[in-house]
Amino acid sequence: MVDDEFYNRLMTTRHHIHQHPEVSESEYETTDYIKTYLRKLGIVPLDYPLETGVIVEIGSGLLIIALRADIDALPILERTGLDYASTNNAMHACGHDFHQTSLLGAAELLKARESELKGTVRLIFQPAEENFQGAHKVIRAGGLVDVSAIVGYHNNPHLKPGQLGLRSGAIMAGVEQFAVTVEGISAHAARPDLGVDAVLTITTIVNNLQQIVARTVSPFQSAVLSVTHIDVGNTWNVLPAEGFFEGTIRTFDPQVRLAVIDSFEKIVRDTAAQFGAKVSIEWGNSPKVTFNDASITPLIFETAKEYAEVIETLPSTGGEDFAAYQERIPGVFAFVGSNGDENAPDWHHDDFIVKDEALPVAVNYFVQSALALLDYYQEK
Ligand SMILES: [Zn+2]
Ligand SMILES: [Zn+2]
């Protein structure tokens, strides 16, 4: 098994990355650091058209299993007081410093047993997860070509180091961001019959939208729809011509997600039409459901019992752009316990802390999952 020297070295590596965070799509130094690190291990970065981020392969053969870690930070001023705190205006407040470090550790261990590998392991150091652009960039660059299955994880401060949370099906929510513009016809407040009232149109739409979760989603499924911002009108005696509202939908099942989006579009358009108003609906570029493949998740679950305390976790209502990979190929996404203290700050807080002791489970998760999946697909 792996010795203390290995994990001490990885810890130092993580502390260095943590001190030098770079926000989404600006991970230039991080990319250089990863490339240099990998070259020292005898692993040559591949020539994919990515401005930031790195893709490498270990092993050989047509069967390819991908491991993915994200590398970007957030524009947050760090207030952890750690002796390896950020030295600039960004912060690894989501723990992506930890993710990439564990993948570097996995690279070293896989490289050491390269001759035994029953295929190819493709390691994807993905940029820009926080703005949900990175997975699409990797896919456009060809990073998923010929890959049979992909493995990723997020650190989870609500689980202890040593624990691994996993479940088949949804593990993180599908996130929808909607913005709707309503166009009516302005009129004097005293002659609404001469106009098309944007205020009444919007408030009726917002009311009607609440039917979706209450009356179209199965009681055995779940969804959340929140309208969070309405902007219409600016005085007491004029009916405004235009208005706007926005909000978010969260779902945990790809079919439910599509059905809710369909109902949303129908209700918005039909309600507006009833008043004679025009609408335009804009959807943000946000991730779909992070959905663990039922055929390979049990295998990862069983394998993980050898190096972690495995917990069947509830899904998180947050989103993850790893979903973009799982839309195309089977994938497994887990939670690696990273803190576990009662008041551990959540992701994206300025005092967010990932504990170093969590590294072994993260490294093992990558290595053992890759080995198990190479076996599984080789025998298929
Ligand atoms: Zn994040
Ligand atoms: Zn994250």
pLDDT 10s digits, 303-356: 999 999 999 999 998 899 999 999 999 999 999 999 999 999 999 999 999 999
Distance 317 CA to ligand 1 centre (A): 13
Helix (H) or strand (E) holding 230: strand 223-232
Per-residue confidence (pLDDT) for residue 2, from 0 to 100 = 58
The pLDDT of residue 51 is 98
In sequence order, which residues have a C-beta less than 8 Å from that of residue 136 and are 6 or more positions away? Answer: 321, 324
Q: How many angstroms does the Cα of residue 128 sit away from the middle of ligand 2? A: 10
Backbone angles phi, psi at 99, to 5 degrees: -60, -50
Domains of the chain (ranges, CATH numbers): 4-172+289-379 (3.40.630.10), 174-283 (3.30.70.360)
Return d(Cα 139, Cα 122) in angstroms, integer: 13
134-172 confidence digits (pLDDT tens): 999 999 999 999 999 999 999 999 999 999 999 999 999
Task: Give the model's pLDDT for residue 280.
Answer: 98
- Does 256 score more than 80 pLDDT? yes
Confidence of residue 282 (pLDDT cuts 50, 70, 90): very high
Considering every ligand atom shown, identify the ligand nearest to the alpha carbon of residue 96 and give its number.
Answer: 2
pLDDT value, residue 261: 97
% of the chain beyond a pLDDT of 90: 97
pLDDT at 186 over 50: yes
**Ligand closest in space to the Cα of 336:** 2
Distance from the CA of 294 to the center of ligand 2, in angstroms?
A: 23
Rounded-to-integer distance, Cα 287 and Cα 166, Å? 19
Using pLDDT thresholds of 50, 70 and 90, give the confidence band for residue 1.
very low
Question: Residues 321, 323, 329, 332: is their CA dihedral positive or negative?
Answer: positive
- As a whole number, the mean pLDDT across the chain is 97
Q: Residues 285-301: pLDDT tens digits?
A: 899 999 999 999 999 99
Rounded-to-integer distance, Cα 27 and Cα 34, Å: 10
Query: What tokens does 259 get?
Result: 């059905």
Could you tell me the distance, in angstroms and rounded to a whole number, from the CA of residue 193 to the centre of ligand 2?
A: 51
Measured in Å, residue 28 CA sits from the centre of ligand 2 at 18
Query: What does the buried/exposed string (b/e) look like for 227-239 if buried means 16 or more CB atoms within 10 Å of the residue's CB?
Result: beebebbeeeeeb
Q: Copy the structure tokens of residue 127.
A: 């940029």
pLDDT in tens, 242-254: 999 999 999 999 8
Burial of 294 (0-12, 13-18, 19+ CB in 10 A): exposed
Query: What is the structure's pLDDT at 153?
Result: 98
Strands 147-156 and 187-188 turn out to be: unpaired
Residue 88 has pLDDT above 80, yes or no: yes
Going by C-beta distance under 8 Å and a sequence separation of 6 or more, which residues neighbour residue 18? Answer: 82, 84, 85, 86, 92, 97
Residue indicated by tokens 């590294």: 359
pLDDT of res. 201: 98
What span, in angstroms and rounded, lies between the C-alpha atoms of 178 and 231? 14
Share of the chain above pLDDT 70, in %: 99
Taking only the tens place, the pLDDT of each residue in 260-271 is: 999 999 999 999
Look up residue 118 and give its amino acid: K
